Structure 1
């Protein structure tokens, strides 16, 4: 099937062709016709399946066919709500690419950056708004944004949005839009809380599922190293010196862990950047650009900061800390081996992460290849480390009794 078969108009087809896309992906093939018909949709698809275009192209097509006369001023007709700034910025870039040969205007608003320039653009009028929930509600409260004309509402990465605690914001945003709108809900997985949300706000939606949640690319070589927690950094340096080359994305569970590993790698002469939630939007974008443009070849990130980031030509993913949610593993390693290329994922497992490995293997229905030949093997009998507090606490023993109270006393009862 080609994009022409999806009944898209010439300006959009031209922009898609110039962006280098010949044929739609499976999620685009299934979703675009349903959206053009005006139905509500729930789409379950992993990152990297081309889902942004699955909603961007039909939205542009519908708006192109019903454009207002310029003198009326542009109203927000399509609203895309996204959980993270990076994802919002990326969706905006995609919309701009696909709408090159139309007069449709798109903008993106998100927190963590100055509100004034965003207000200026909104005041000039836009057709399509991409936003993170917090900033969107801020601007609505200030009467800068009017959602009375929204025809299509897209909730992207709904599972992450709910994990991040945005459920009330999402419901509020939905209520602020018109009743007659079409809602498109995209989620990598459809856990119970996403199902509940869908039942509350969607009207007899069509369900589209692209590949099982557990699907991992056949082109990814997945290897596992059992290693004591205290030796993970040494193992990482050992592999970077001897085994892993090219552009590398390293995942750590915490912001503190990201910073610590970044400092160690820089001290050892590696070119590294990092992204996590405590960094300003400007710094995160800068780090991402340096990585994408090859100024640095290692990017260290937390899961939330990296969700939805589109990085092509990634040679390896290192799971420095294993995720406790097995679906997160699928997301992480799905960053490599895209578009038919191959890649490798390296996972470091300490004694207290063994249960995570079992859950991951169960989900992906695959046994990970264990590499035993390395300088820091984990003793098979090693027990999970229990972190004891170094604080000595009070010098007085708990429950100490005075000599007097220790003597047997007659009770009155």
Structure 2
């Protein structure tokens, strides 16, 4: 619903030749949470870059940031849909651990082929999501209670199937899903040519896509930024993207997990922005009764949101197990809190109906950079947890402040 409102705003004075300042002010006002999180992310990066004497943005550490936070970002993509519908899921960490245990039993104990084991593990996640979605959508038990029960059930099942022990090692083909890199076809030493070419290609696609979208907006008299602001935005995106790919190219190149994340972001952004079911998710979170009266199948949509969350929890568990090269009873501990925090920090509303996939990714990056930066500075886990808690509280307070101000 949020995206519909934004797209139906008519072309204002700034778009028709008014000042760039007015247009910029309108853009910031209409997207205050999104822009504030981007600014916060940049500020946090620069702060820790200075405090760590440049260690934060070293190529090796940038790659480590991606590998360390990939499973949380996958969970955040699914969690933001759950939060948009007005629900919460406390079971994702336990589901990730349970599915990781299942995959280990299949691949290590029974030597099931990697691809078959991955498919079966994702199917198990879908069944778990369907189980929880049924109680939430059709029996109308609050999601908090259902997923709290799921958190306890699947944590217990993880300990039972693993018998309190770790199972390792996984096949090399499975480990590469989380720790492997795209091969370099350039053949040059010292720098990953393929990664640089990918950055250039993505820049061309982004520029071409944004130009096409701007032309469509102007054609239909929709509000858009002035040409100067538009060009500045494109230049910033291209520069940041190519600096990022250059940093990756200076180490091992693009991690496989980054490709998986990129595909998920594109697919789910398209789903939430362009597909009818995605708009129904926002409608349910905005006002479930009104959505039902408008013809939205609220129970069906809610059910499939939790099925989707189960699948992404399973994928997160597979990625974590592949990176750890073991399935352990303690895997997935507090994953749910990090995923929820990423969504709220990234702009999702505690009241439902508001949130975006890119916002959840930005929120996850804020959390990940803070964790990494504080670890580089030598801060203990006690300080890290306390600071993360304050950041989450501030993000939700900011959301409530904006909501009250709008009212």
Shorter-chain TM-score above 0.5: no
- Select the structure with the greater relative contact order (CA < 8 A; seq sep ≥ 6): 2
The structure with the largest alpha-carbon Rg is 1
